[in-house]
Amino acid sequence: MSTSKNFLRHSCATLLTSLFLAASGLALAQVNVGLPTIELKTGIYRIQAELADNPKAREVGLMNRTTMPPNSGMLFVFEQKAGHCFWMNNTKIPLSIAFIADDGKIVNIEEMQADTTNNHCPKAAVRYALEMNKQWFSERVIVPGTVITGLPKS
Protein backbone atom coordinates (compact mmCIF):
# COMPACT_ATOMS: atom_id res chain seq x y z
CA MET A 1 0.00 0.00 0.00
CA SER A 2 2.80 2.44 0.82
CA THR A 3 4.34 1.76 -2.62
CA SER A 4 1.11 2.92 -4.25
CA LYS A 5 1.07 6.10 -2.15
CA ASN A 6 4.71 6.82 -3.04
CA PHE A 7 3.98 6.25 -6.72
CA LEU A 8 0.95 8.57 -6.52
CA ARG A 9 2.98 11.27 -4.72
CA HIS A 10 5.79 10.99 -7.27
CA SER A 11 3.30 11.14 -10.18
CA CYS A 12 1.60 14.24 -8.74
CA ALA A 13 4.94 15.94 -8.11
CA THR A 14 6.07 15.14 -11.66
CA LEU A 15 2.79 16.47 -13.08
CA LEU A 16 3.00 19.69 -11.05
CA THR A 17 6.64 20.19 -12.07
CA SER A 18 5.73 19.64 -15.72
CA LEU A 19 2.85 22.11 -15.52
CA PHE A 20 5.08 24.69 -13.83
CA LEU A 21 7.79 24.29 -16.47
CA ALA A 22 5.23 24.51 -19.28
CA ALA A 23 3.76 27.70 -17.80
CA SER A 24 7.23 29.16 -17.31
CA GLY A 25 8.07 28.25 -20.89
CA LEU A 26 5.04 30.16 -22.13
CA ALA A 27 6.11 33.24 -20.18
CA LEU A 28 9.66 32.99 -21.52
CA ALA A 29 8.68 32.06 -25.06
CA GLN A 30 9.00 35.66 -26.20
CA VAL A 31 12.58 36.06 -24.90
CA ASN A 32 15.33 35.66 -27.49
CA VAL A 33 17.77 33.39 -25.71
CA GLY A 34 20.85 31.96 -27.27
CA LEU A 35 21.22 34.54 -30.01
CA PRO A 36 24.75 34.96 -31.34
CA THR A 37 26.57 38.10 -30.27
CA ILE A 38 28.79 40.44 -32.19
CA GLU A 39 31.22 43.09 -30.95
CA LEU A 40 30.63 46.55 -32.38
CA LYS A 41 32.72 49.65 -31.77
CA THR A 42 32.18 53.36 -31.94
CA GLY A 43 35.05 55.58 -30.88
CA ILE A 44 36.34 54.26 -27.55
CA TYR A 45 33.15 52.29 -26.82
CA ARG A 46 32.69 48.57 -27.30
CA ILE A 47 29.21 47.10 -27.59
CA GLN A 48 28.24 43.46 -27.12
CA ALA A 49 25.20 43.16 -29.39
CA GLU A 50 22.91 40.20 -29.75
CA LEU A 51 22.33 39.56 -33.43
CA ALA A 52 18.70 39.59 -34.62
CA ASP A 53 19.27 38.62 -38.24
CA ASN A 54 16.25 36.47 -39.05
CA PRO A 55 12.49 37.14 -39.04
CA LYS A 56 11.76 35.39 -35.71
CA ALA A 57 14.63 37.05 -33.83
CA ARG A 58 13.66 40.46 -35.23
CA GLU A 59 10.00 39.91 -34.32
CA VAL A 60 10.77 39.07 -30.68
CA GLY A 61 13.64 41.54 -30.25
CA LEU A 62 14.03 42.59 -26.62
CA MET A 63 10.41 41.85 -25.64
CA ASN A 64 9.68 40.95 -22.01
CA ARG A 65 13.19 41.60 -20.72
CA THR A 66 13.47 43.71 -17.61
CA THR A 67 17.16 44.62 -17.75
CA MET A 68 20.05 44.88 -20.15
CA PRO A 69 23.74 45.30 -19.21
CA PRO A 70 25.15 48.82 -19.78
CA ASN A 71 27.21 48.21 -22.94
CA SER A 72 24.98 45.55 -24.41
CA GLY A 73 22.32 45.85 -27.05
CA MET A 74 20.62 44.18 -29.98
CA LEU A 75 21.62 44.66 -33.60
CA PHE A 76 18.82 44.12 -36.10
CA VAL A 77 20.05 43.11 -39.54
CA PHE A 78 17.70 43.14 -42.53
CA GLU A 79 18.22 41.59 -45.95
CA GLN A 80 17.06 44.73 -47.76
CA LYS A 81 17.52 48.44 -47.12
CA ALA A 82 14.14 49.96 -46.26
CA GLY A 83 12.32 52.18 -43.80
CA HIS A 84 12.23 49.50 -41.09
CA CYS A 85 10.16 50.96 -38.23
CA PHE A 86 10.18 49.76 -34.62
CA TRP A 87 7.76 49.90 -31.72
CA MET A 88 7.94 48.89 -28.07
CA ASN A 89 4.91 46.64 -27.59
CA ASN A 90 5.72 44.14 -24.78
CA THR A 91 9.17 45.70 -24.34
CA LYS A 92 9.63 46.41 -20.64
CA ILE A 93 12.77 48.56 -20.70
CA PRO A 94 13.08 51.99 -22.36
CA LEU A 95 15.52 51.96 -25.24
CA SER A 96 17.38 54.14 -27.71
CA ILE A 97 17.63 53.00 -31.30
CA ALA A 98 20.24 54.04 -33.83
CA PHE A 99 19.37 53.48 -37.48
CA ILE A 100 22.60 52.70 -39.33
CA ALA A 101 23.50 52.96 -43.04
CA ASP A 102 25.55 50.33 -44.88
CA ASP A 103 28.72 52.40 -44.39
CA GLY A 104 28.23 52.27 -40.60
CA LYS A 105 27.13 55.90 -40.21
CA ILE A 106 24.26 56.53 -37.85
CA VAL A 107 21.38 58.06 -39.81
CA ASN A 108 19.24 59.02 -36.81
CA ILE A 109 18.67 58.07 -33.18
CA GLU A 110 15.29 57.77 -31.48
CA GLU A 111 14.40 57.48 -27.78
CA MET A 112 11.68 54.89 -27.14
CA GLN A 113 9.43 54.52 -24.10
CA ALA A 114 8.72 51.05 -22.72
CA ASP A 115 5.52 49.25 -23.64
CA THR A 116 4.26 51.70 -26.28
CA THR A 117 3.12 51.28 -29.86
CA ASN A 118 4.52 54.52 -31.31
CA ASN A 119 6.47 53.95 -34.52
CA HIS A 120 10.15 54.88 -34.59
CA CYS A 121 11.49 54.98 -38.14
CA PRO A 122 14.76 55.76 -39.91
CA LYS A 123 15.10 59.00 -41.88
CA ALA A 124 16.55 57.00 -44.79
CA ALA A 125 16.42 53.40 -45.95
CA VAL A 126 18.71 51.28 -43.75
CA ARG A 127 19.71 47.67 -43.26
CA TYR A 128 20.81 47.97 -39.60
CA ALA A 129 19.26 49.17 -36.34
CA LEU A 130 20.97 49.05 -32.94
CA GLU A 131 18.91 49.10 -29.73
CA MET A 132 20.66 50.10 -26.50
CA ASN A 133 19.48 51.20 -23.07
CA LYS A 134 17.69 54.56 -23.20
CA GLN A 135 20.06 57.53 -23.59
CA TRP A 136 23.10 55.29 -24.09
CA PHE A 137 24.00 57.22 -27.25
CA SER A 138 23.35 60.72 -25.87
CA GLU A 139 25.27 60.03 -22.64
CA ARG A 140 28.32 59.23 -24.78
CA VAL A 141 27.75 62.07 -27.25
CA ILE A 142 27.17 59.63 -30.09
CA VAL A 143 25.15 61.46 -32.74
CA PRO A 144 24.00 61.00 -36.34
CA GLY A 145 27.07 60.74 -38.58
CA THR A 146 29.03 58.75 -35.98
CA VAL A 147 30.35 55.49 -37.40
CA ILE A 148 29.65 52.07 -35.89
CA THR A 149 32.25 49.47 -36.91
CA GLY A 150 32.06 45.69 -36.85
CA LEU A 151 28.72 45.41 -38.66
CA PRO A 152 28.20 42.07 -40.38
CA LYS A 153 28.42 42.12 -44.16
CA SER A 154 25.13 41.54 -45.90
Alpha-carbon gap, residue 109 to 130, rounded angstroms: 9
Q: Check whether 1 has a pLDDT greater than 90.
A: no
Residue 122 confidence (pLDDT) = 98
**pLDDT of 104-131, one tens digit each?**
999 999 999 999 999 999 999 999 999 9
Q: Is 64 left (phi over 0), alpha (psi -120 to 50) or beta?
A: left
- CATH architecture of the domain with range 37-139: Sandwich (2.60)
Residue 5 has pLDDT above 70, yes or no: no
Residue 32 or residue 91, greater confidence = 91
Is the alpha carbon torsion for 135, 66, 78, 154 positive or negative?
positive
Query: Quick one: which of 55, 56, 146 has its CA closest to 96?
Result: 146
* pLDDT tens per residue across span 7-57: 334 443 433 333 333 333 333 334 456 899 999 999 999 999 999 999 999
CA dist 78 and 80 (Å) reads 6
Which residue ranges make up each domain of the chain?
Answer: 1-30, 37-139
| pLDDT given for residue 25 in this prediction | 39
